[in-house]
A and B are shown apart, each in its own frame.
Chain A
């Protein structure tokens, strides 16, 4: 089982749609969670951190479910500019600084 698993997609959705991605992780002791966005031929950029209480930033909502060991990202009112690959990132913590990256979920928002 991979340490961090994501559905690679692609998710093709029309503009204005709501789309949700899930990511599962295998290490129950993981401490930090992030969603990164990567555009084609660009470096990953932080979209948002994921907190235990969940967090929202405009059209984006991230949630953490420790019991089931998954995090989710919800995008409302999709824009064409949201088309990108969304990477789930998990930090094991416990003195380990390494980040574990999922393979990414590709989103294409269609006009």
Chain B
């Protein structure tokens, strides 16, 4: 299993600003992912955070808006850039220790943009 610490747990931000969310895993993991969960909705994958290379983004998500870093096998950040109220959501990071193993999640970041 893996324990993931995600921070901040919540934030209220002004539109036009940026917020960086951090995820720290207690062990080395193969894959890390970033999701968004709108109220009452399921999880939507934003991107796969690749160690040592650019993240792989899903349709509808772009690097300029959601830059991601993954400097090593235990850490990743997601930045929500130039925020608007539509970015208000819960952002979750997840990690998979191995191929097709279960995914573990951080506690989530509840973002409100005003």
| Residues of A that sit less than 8 Å from B by CB | 31-32, 34, 41-46, 49, 87, 89, 91, 93, 97-99, 101-104
Contacts and interface: CB of A to CB of B under 8 A. Distances in A.
B48 A43 contact: no
Interface string B31-42: 101000000011
Contacts of A91: 100
A98 B43 CA distance: 12
Interface of B: 30-31, 33, 41-45, 48, 92, 96, 99-100, 102-108, 110
Q: Most chain-A Cβ atoms within 10 A of its Cβ — which of B33, B48, B103?
A: B103
Contact of A46 (B104, B108, B110): B104
Contacts of B96: 97
A45 B105 contact: yes
A104 B92 CA distance: 16
A32 B41 contact: no
Nearest to B56: A98
Given A97-B31, A97-B96, A102 B42 contact: yes
A76 B45 CA distance: 32
Contacts of B110: 41
B31 A104 contact: no
B102 A34 contact: yes
A93 B43 contact: no
Contacts of A49: 102
